[in-house]
Chains A and B, each alone.
Chain A
């Protein structure tokens, strides 16, 4: 029996070292050791960017958390902390449960390989075992609606078809924690409807949803909690309409 998913961030801060070409290279380290003295610190040029500061978040199973914030407010960084990619430089992040992020749904796809091979690649990348993939592969092919094209190289697909395949595989999983940067929607009208339905199924199937989005509609339709990030801090955290009313300009 799996433990129920939960996320707990206490006093989390994330600091990025930004190495410009100068500090990235060993040459400068060696040279500065040779030249020595006070200059090297200025010449070293490593800058620390505070991506996140003082984040306290407790997310329990059943919560659908929306993330809002302007560009550069730390949404992506927080998504990466929540999916266990960045370990906080300060504070603690306890993440219970397997987590899949649908940030770039084409990750791992090889254009030269056939659609079928790509399904296997992509699902392996998302953490499915070959047995699990075999159980789902027919359903995925069916959903993608690619028919006989499934055994053709991926590069021969139109961009719409490529997206459909990526979408079909990426949404075939039911992780405990699902992290998304923007809602996935794709394809022509007919596919869009089915895709929408499938996204709903995925979202309902997970215990915790974390969704960063700029769309009020989508956030209101799918979330029951909204976190507003500003300059790497939580500006507001609460019920969807309340936060949305404050974050989104009133005329929309």
Chain B
């Protein structure tokens, strides 16, 4: 079963390449996932927007008061952070069960495995899109100007998605084999929520302990490259370098890994 590294790599690439060619399938399935959840509700997927808005309002009130932060700064910060984190945490958690939950399809239809990852990504991008509607409303209410830096959000989101994609790919394979891994990752993500500056701001951390805690948290950098531009700052160079390097190294590891184990996945289901 051991493949020479070159075959593993081309296997992985072939899988991903043909998955990208079936984007219509991914779009249909991903959209269906969201539609099904809200099929018989009157306002449908906007429930997502509403529940996120309520969460932001409540957490904003509690922690804004606790930390003694000016609401006009804290609310946008919290809103953007929560929305991005919601995306990251869900895709990672659902990525763990990416292949396991697609068992019925995998054992019956030959299609690239990466499709199942892309489906999860796509439906969560749709959900994030609904949540993002909160931002313009919030910014208007607070009369917060949007600067030209906001355009940097585009490369930011692209790098974020490319990063979570390789993480999901690896996790989907590992969790198909070791089912306990899913629980471990879910726990980890819960802990990371508190370790990542989302409800608290990085500026509140004591100098030395803070930098260590932040620099080694991959999600801090990923959140920063999307959040900072939206709030009118440019992300730091460290954020960019960290995120891009992580993306490169991640894929360099994920591709041969996936290529090597791809053929075993159906046997593990």
**Does B67 touch A at the CB level, under 8 Å?**
no
For chains A and B in complex, what number of residue pairs have CB atoms within 8 angstroms? 76
A108 to B104, CA, bound (A): 9
Contact A24 B178 (CB under 8 A): yes
- The contact of B39 among A86, A103, A113, A129, by CB within 8 Å, is A113
B109 touches A26 (CB 8 A): no
Contact between chains at B267 and A110 (CB < 8 Å):
no
Q: Contact check, A127 vs B105: say whether CB atoms are below 8 A apart.
A: no
Which residues from A are CB-within-8-Å of B58? none
Contact across chains for A113 and B24 when beta carbons are under 8 A apart: no
A3 in the interface (beta carbon within 8 A) = no
Please state if B108 and A85 are interface contacts (CB–CB under 8 Å).
yes
- Chain A contact residues (Cβ within 8 angstroms of B): what range? 35 or more
* Contact between A112 and B108, CB atoms less than 8 A apart: no
Q: Which of A86, A117, A126, A127 contacts B266 (CB 8 A)?
A: A86
**In the assembled complex, A45 has its CB within 8 A of some CB on chain B:** no
B62 at the interface (CB under 8 A from A): no
Q: In chain A, residues 20-48, which have Cβ atoms closer than 8 Å to a Cβ of chain B?
A: 24-27, 29
Q: Is B109 within 8 A of A110, CB to CB? A: no
Tell yes or no: B40 within 8 A of A by CB: yes
Mark interface residues in B28-52 (1 if CB within 8 Å of A CB, else 0): 1100100110011000000000000
Q: Specify which chain A residues have a CB less than 8 angstroms from the CB of B111 in the assembled complex.
A: 127
* A125–B105 touching, CB < 8 Å: yes
Q: A110-B32, A112-B39, A125-B105 are known contacts. Are A99 and B110 too (CB-CB below 8 A)?
A: yes
B24 A130 Cβ-Cβ under 8 A: yes
Please measure, in the bound complex, the distance between the C-alpha atom of A112 and the C-alpha atom of B37, giving whole angstroms: 9
- 0/1 string, A96-128, CB within 8 A of B gives 1: 000111011001101011000100110011110
With contact pairs A25-B179, A124-B29, A125-B25 given, residues A104 and B108 touching in the complex (Cβ less than 8 Å): yes
- B180 contacts chain A at the CB level, 8 A cutoff: yes
Is there contact, CB below 8 Å, between B40 and A101?
no
Complex contacts, B109 vs chain A, CB 8 Å: 85, 100-101, 107, 125-127
Q: A112-B40, A121-B32 are in contact. Are A129 and B24 (CB under 8 A)?
A: yes
Report how far A89 CA is from B264 CA in the complex, Å: 9
Is A89 a contact partner of B1 (Cβ separation < 8 A)? yes
Tell me which residues across on chain B come within 8 A of A127, comparing CB atoms. 22, 25, 109, 111
Nearest to A99 among chain B residues (CB) is B110
B36 engages A110 (CB within 8 Å): yes
- Across the interface, do A80 and B107 meet the contact criterion of CB distance under 8 Å? yes
Residues of A within 8 A of B152 (CB): none
Q: In chain B, residues 135-171, which have Cβ atoms closer than 8 Å to a Cβ of chain A?
A: none
Q: Which residues on A sit within 8 Å (CB–CB) of B178?
A: 24-26, 29
Residues of B250-269 at the interface with A, using a CB-CB cut-off of 8 Å, are 263, 266-268
Given A84-B110, A85-B106, A112-B39, CB of A24 within 8 Å of CB of B179: yes
Apart from A25-B179, A27-B180, A80-B266, list 4 A-B contacts with CB within 8 A: A110-B36, A112-B36, A124-B28, A124-B29
Seen from chain A, the residues whose Cβ lies within 8 Å of a Cβ on chain B are: 16-17, 19, 24-27, 29, 80, 83-87, 89, 99-101, 103-104, 107-108, 110, 112-113, 117, 120-121, 124-127, 129-130, 153
* A/B interface sample: 24 pairs, CB < 8 A: A19-B268, A24-B179, A24-B180, A25-B178, A25-B179, A25-B180, A26-B178, A26-B181, A83-B110, A85-B107, A85-B266, A87-B263, A99-B110, A103-B108, A110-B32, A112-B40, A113-B35, A113-B39, A124-B25, A124-B28, A125-B105, A126-B109, A127-B25, A130-B28
